[in-house]
Structure 1
Amino acid sequence: MTQPQSAPPSASPSPSHEPAAGPARRWPMVLGGLVVAGFIVTVLAIIFVPRRDVSTDDAYVEAHNAVIAPRISGQITDVEVDDNQFVKQGQVLATVDDRDYRTALDDALATLARDQAEVVDASATVDRQPSLISEQAAQVQALQARTAFSSADAKRYAHLASTGAGTAQARQLAETRWKQDAADLAGARSALAAAQHQMDILKAKHQASIEAVSADQARVAQARLNLSYTQILAPVDGMVGARSVQVGNYVSPGTTLMAVVPMQKLYIEANYREVELKHVRPGQKVSIHLDAYNVDLNGVVDSVPPASGAAFAPIAPENATGNFTKIVQRLPVKILVDADQPLANLLRVGFSVETTIHTDFADVVGAQRNSAAAVKLGHE
């Protein structure tokens, strides 16, 4: 005979467990509320709480490239550098055919030598002219003496002829000699005056020949310069880029052949929003993060620009027409990379970087308010 089974215990929860169920259901709501409140506080802090450091990822490596272009026309006979090659200042980059320019220099030198000989000739002529003037003056004096004698002689024969002691023929011969001597004297005086005026002409010609030599010397100097321009030199130390020239190309003045990037003078152009520049001044330290190699560098604020990027745009924005939406502008702050950083050699123009300026809450507004002059935000 089997014993009757006892009734199973009730599955209903004990009344003693009911109070703990309420808090267990409320803690997710409390946690969610705390997260939302924290997010709101963080956003408000970002918007309203001043920050000692201002950062941007709208920053790039820049450089003032040296564009290499010939100053003369001609055919390229040699290109001595290749893409991405380091060059030193004064190193020959390319050579233009120099035969025409050597011929022009030889012609200028020959013209200079000819005109220098003319200067010597003109100088000798000027030096000789005083002797010719003295000769003409002596001739005048001799003719004056002869004319005086022939004049007196003509008077004597005229007196003798009037008294019957002399013949009319003798009187006529004496008068003829006197008139001839007087004419010769007038001619000698004219020749003396012409010789004296000739001195001024010769001096002017001598000066003109000197000026011609000066012009020839200038042409020789220009010919030498043009000949020197056949060797295209590197203006700065740097790396060759954007090479487009090849041997055999015919180039004209201003034709871009390549560029030389001064790798030791790279800088950062960080585009900061205008509202972030309240405490930014030159000389402040900057942390630079190089995206390409994931390394950090140090720098310093060089200057704050005079205008925003939009002010220098080819097509400037026209805010005076149509509907207007206010847009916070960005200004390209120039940042220099500190020297003596080995990792700085990794920088290349165009690399993206992230910059953080440590402003230390510099009071730019207060400094300007207390000064009549402009606060230094750039170079003087």
Structure 2
Amino acid sequence: MSNNQAEQKVLSAVPAGAPAAPAAPAAAAKKPNRRVIVVAGLIAVAAIVAGGRMWYRSTHFVETENAYVAGHVHPVSSRIAGTVTKVLIDDNQYVKEGDVIAELDPFDQRIKVDQIRAQIAAAETQVLQADAQVAQVNAQASAAAAQVKQSEALLVRANQDAERYGQLYTSQMKAVSKAELDAANASRASAVADLAARKDSAAAAKAQIAAAASARDVLKTQIDVLKVQLKDAEQQLAYNKIVAPISGRVGKRTVEVGQRVQPGQQLTALVQDNVWITANFKETQLADMHVGQPVHITVDALPGKEVTGRVDSFSPASGNQFALLPADNATGNFTKIVQRVPVKITLSQADQKALAGRLVPGMSVIAEVAIGASH
């Protein structure tokens, strides 16, 4: 029996006055059920895709918003006390290593340099005088030595004469007179005395040589000391020019003309363009992190800009250990807190060059490490 014949048989069995069965609404109810099923299926697929994506990211990436741009900030200070006479920089200006940042009044240091130079000149003049005195004393010593030799020769002759006259004047022979013998003996005694006097003069001359040479050496030592003092004074004079220790941009400039500065007082700071990222990851995120893994960086100040880097190194201690007052868990009640460990992330050379001057220390970033990548 066909479906049409069955329907006719059923309709004929229904009384004429009875209301018709609501067949049309039943047929219409089938369509919403199909839509619900389709929508539910799409939602389930979307949930599965989203869940799969979340699972994949949780197993292949670790992320932290506790990350910042870091860099070298070099404080520039004065090495001597003085009054600022010139300021040659402005805020945010780029300076090169060795450029003069400010100048101090050099009056006091210049006076000291001039005084020491004058002392050196006076000491050098005294050295020349001492050299002349040494030469003079040497000449006197040479003359005294010659006189000693002459006196020695005279003494030899006087001895010979006295001996000869003594042989010629004896009790048996009077070949010479007693007066001649006495004269020969007197000449010998005079020669002995003269030789002794000449030797004393020679010794005194040698002593004068030593004294003059010692005085000259003292003056030369004084000159050496003064030259060291001059070098220090010239260095102090050079410190009146405050120069940039590195190349970078000026920040936090506080120096002004007329300001009195003290040694070690910071006048400004220089920030280098070479920056990196310091990301504070939870200790529970470090298990699969390794040096060399790629990092995707999102900079709050540069929305939509793709920045890449790599894990460079891990801090030797958690951030709490470097705090001014580290937590002491040995006393009181203990509450376990997940610690954070600073991780250094270096930027790619291309990004480092392209973003020079745009990435500055202190900027907030989001760091995402691909822990599934090889290292």
Aligned partner (choices 27, 42, 56) of residue 64 of structure 2: 56
- In structure 2, the residue matched to 1:375 is none
Given that 2:82 and 2:105 are in contact with CA atoms closer than 8 Å, whether structure 1 keeps it comes out as yes
Secondary structure of 2:110's partner? helix
Distance 1:44 1:92, change over 3 A: closer
2:262 partner amino acid? S
Aligned partner (choices 148, 151, 160) of residue 143 of structure 1: 151
- In structure 1, the residue matched to 2:282 is 273
- In structure 1, the residue matched to 2:346 is 336
2:123 partner amino acid? D
Given that 2:137 and 2:209 are in contact with CA atoms closer than 8 Å, whether structure 1 keeps it comes out as yes
Distance 1:57 1:258, change over 3 A: same
Given that 1:123 and 1:206 are in contact with CA atoms closer than 8 Å, whether structure 2 keeps it comes out as yes
Distance 1:265 1:186, change over 3 A: same
- In structure 1, the residue matched to 2:6 is none
2:105 partner amino acid? D
- In structure 1, the residue matched to 2:369 is 357
Give the Å deviation of 1:13: 12
TM-score normalised by length of structure 2? 0.75
Given that 2:294 and 2:373 are in contact with CA atoms closer than 8 Å, whether structure 1 keeps it comes out as no
Give the Å deviation of 1:147: 2.9
Aligned partner (choices 113, 117, 120) of residue 112 of structure 1: 120
Question: Partners of 1:308 and 1:141 in 2: how far apart?
Answer: 92
Of 55-64 and 153-162, the range deviating more from structure 2: 153-162
Given that 2:274 and 2:356 are in contact with CA atoms closer than 8 Å, whether structure 1 keeps it comes out as no
| Structure 2 segments unaligned to the other structure (5+ residues) | 1-15
* 2:250 is aligned with 1:240: yes
Aligned partner (choices 357, 362, 369) of residue 345 of structure 1: 357
Give the Å deviation of 1:308: 1.9
Distance 1:335 1:157, change over 3 A: same
Distance 1:156 1:9, change over 3 A: same
Give the Å deviation of 1:171: 6.7
Q: Pairwise mapping of residues 187-206 of structure 1 onto structure 2 (< 5 A)?
A: 187-206=197-216
* 2:320 is aligned with 1:307: no
Q: Pairwise mapping of residues 163-312 of structure 1 onto structure 2 (< 5 A)?
A: 166=177, 177-262=187-272, 264-294=273-303, 295-312=305-322
Question: Partners of 1:350 and 1:211 in 2: how far apart?
Answer: 56
- In structure 2, the residue matched to 1:368 is none
Secondary structure of 2:266's partner? coil
Larger Cα Rg: Structure 1 or Structure 2? 2
Give the Å deviation of 1:145: 2.2
| Structure 1 segments unaligned to the other structure (5+ residues) | 1-5, 364-380
Distance 1:186 1:50, change over 3 A: farther
- In structure 2, the residue matched to 1:366 is none
Given that 2:71 and 2:360 are in contact with CA atoms closer than 8 Å, whether structure 1 keeps it comes out as no
Secondary structure of 2:196's partner? helix
TM-score normalised by length of structure 1? 0.74
Question: Partners of 1:285 and 1:127 in 2: how far apart?
Answer: 82
Distance 1:344 1:72, change over 3 A: closer
Given that 1:279 and 1:362 are in contact with CA atoms closer than 8 Å, whether structure 2 keeps it comes out as no
- In structure 2, the residue matched to 1:100 is 108
2:80 partner amino acid? I
1:67 partner amino acid? P
2:257 partner amino acid? V
Give the Å deviation of 1:309: 1.6
Give the Å deviation of 1:260: 1.2
Q: How many corresponding residue pairs?
A: 346
Distance 1:139 1:252, change over 3 A: same
Give the Å deviation of 1:69: 0.7
Given that 2:282 and 2:339 are in contact with CA atoms closer than 8 Å, whether structure 1 keeps it comes out as yes
Give the Å deviation of 1:71: 0.9
Give the Å deviation of 1:129: 5.2
Give the Å deviation of 1:205: 4.0
Secondary structure of 1:257's partner? strand
Given that 2:141 and 2:206 are in contact with CA atoms closer than 8 Å, whether structure 1 keeps it comes out as yes
Give the Å deviation of 1:197: 4.8
Give the Å deviation of 1:266: 1.9
Secondary structure of 1:51's partner? helix
Secondary structure of 1:326's partner? coil
* 2:89 is aligned with 1:77: no
2:327 partner amino acid? P
Question: Partners of 2:189 and 2:80 in 1: how far apart?
Answer: 73
